[in-house]
Structure 1
């Protein structure tokens, strides 16, 4: 009996030492693992604030829009929410807050958001809120428009961009991608502005990134929200003009639902899409967040991170064409 106890003590000691070494290795490792946050954070958006930290916002699986903070894109701290019960937008009384888009405009942190009930494609719309600080609190400025007011079904998934001193909003979800000019402060539609159709009905979750002579329109196709059966993929087209035509690698126009795949599924993660803004680390490497479904625990849409690389023709890609399980950390 004493010998058995001694053996068990030795095994326990060695196990404890192994755990301690593993923790120490994890803390000092230059490797990160996906998901970087194993909580449901769909449709992420990110900004590097004036304080040098990164702030990330997501669709409200955490009610009132969650806000996270990080110094290195890998280790995230939950700060709270953009809104409270009392400050929550209400132009869609039973609606949820989806797909935020964070920006810094004229000294203010400006948060565009979608508000919708599932299936309410003619009553949903896009609103805007502002704050002096990236962590909030945000003050709602109300809706920019509803679907039935701008005559674009499923008016959600907005993206803000500036071009030659003008401000524009892109939006749309499987009913066409559209763009329109905003007012000088970005808080309303410019009087008399006309909407312009940019892409076809295969897409939602628009993000546009300028690199070199091209604008790259990232979008998502497929089903986002069917758990392990989700077919979401991140795709891209590019143009020499902000307003298109955006063409895929074969020359097919995104107006005609052409696209080239950037991120598809693998044996661990499916339903991968709706990307954040691209951000750079200190070495100039490009990084992108997006959500996916972890087949080992397919509840919610968890936060994934990968480096964006560029091939010799200037097209973006992710190593292996699907989410990494682990990779070198961003350099900060």
Structure 2
């Protein structure tokens, strides 16, 4: 979710064509795969609220809140070395169903042969003057064609209707969303572009959370979310948290069985001496060796003016709970994900 001052970075576009650290190097490993060593952040530019997809072309595409105007799109073969390939919208095509709103917290999915980009359109601090829209494209790099609003706060009766994510199971498609006013779920039509007739919002978590993402593994549904303040630079208290449930609709609980409806959670990634404001994760991505990875944003302590940069860390499952080593971002060189090329 965008809680950092909306900034135009047009003057930086020329530098975005090589935005990964020079420390990131491709390394051949067994089986003909390629892995890359990296040091966080993998994009040292403001890329808040990232969403990442492995597209049909085998490449990865990342989208973020528009600190770079019109939702920037980055491309990578390894989730480590990223290049900006464009923006989802232009000044002429950007959504406008709410006048003067900024584009925050996109979520990208592939639905029925199209790349579907859900986005929040909002003004800072106006919890009843925001909404969620959707755009489509035949290509992950765009251009995206706006399909208009999916829901608006004052019409659906949910304050701060932003920070959406998509979930599909057994042919049913759902939208989960919300920010510090409760987390809600509603069923969508088959094309994912509208709310299904007769479906009404169901509250599934309390007011401590925003930036949610639902992931199913084995018999559990995991709700990843963010708590705290996102956008106060090195004073940010943002951290990534998680709870789990045996049903999409909850109850989601912590390890002690306390409910996320009552604002309970387990901390997955907290701030450290090297990074602050560790939150708003993308989905879990499994590499070709079966290892799971998570991307999120954080402020580098050594360069806070860089903004909320793109981070990458492995996820290890312990007794059916996700863990990140030491519960903080990695800050030393790491072996990256492995993909067959």
Q: TM-score with structure 2 length normalisation? A: 0.89
**Equivalences for residues 69-148 of structure 1 within 5 A:** 69-148=75-154
Aligned residues: 308
Q: SS of the residue aligned with 2:45?
A: strand
Gaps of 5+ in 1: 1-22
Q: Rate the CA distance shift 1:78–1:245 in 2: closer, same or farther, 3 A.
A: same
2:177 counterpart of 1:179: no
Measure how far apart 1:142 and its partner are.
0.3
Alpha-carbon shift at residue 330 of structure 1 (Å): 1.0
Q: 1:89 to 1:252 in 2, by over 3 A?
A: same
Of 230, 240, 243 in structure 2, the residue corresponding to residue 234 of structure 1 is 240
**Matched ranges for 1:236-255 at <5 A:** 236-255=242-261
The residue number in structure 2 matching 1:310 is 317
Is 1:328 aligned to 2:328, yes or no?
Answer: no
- Deviation of 1:128 after TM superposition, in Å, equals 0.2
Query: Which residue in the other structure is 2:214 paired with?
Result: 208
Q: Which consecutive segments of 4 or more residues in structure 1 shift more than 3 A?
A: 25-30
Alpha-carbon separation, structure 2, partners of 1:149 and 1:223? 27
Once the two structures are TM-superposed, the CA of residue 27 in structure 1 deviates from its matched residue by 3.4
Which structure: larger Rg?
A: 1
Shift of 1:267: 0.3
Q: What is the rounded CA distance, in whole Å, between the counterparts of 1:251 and 1:58 in structure 2?
A: 33
Q: 1:27 aligns with which of 25, 28, 33?
A: 25
**Equivalent residue, structure 2, for 1:50:** 56
- 8 A Cα contact 2:105 2:119, kept in partner: yes
Give CA-to-partner distance per residue, 1:227-257, whole Å, 9 cap, x none: 1100000000000101100000111000000
Distance in 2 of aligned mates of 1:244 and 1:268: 35
CA contact (8 A) 2:221 2:246 kept: yes
Please point out which of 49, 72, 92 is paired with 1:66.
Answer: 72
Cross-structure match for 1:39: 45
Q: 1:82 and 1:28, CA in 2 relative to 1: closer, same or farther beyond 3 A? A: closer
- Segments of structure 2 that go 5 or more residues without pairing to the other structure are 1-21, 28-35
Q: Secondary structure of 2:261's partner? A: helix
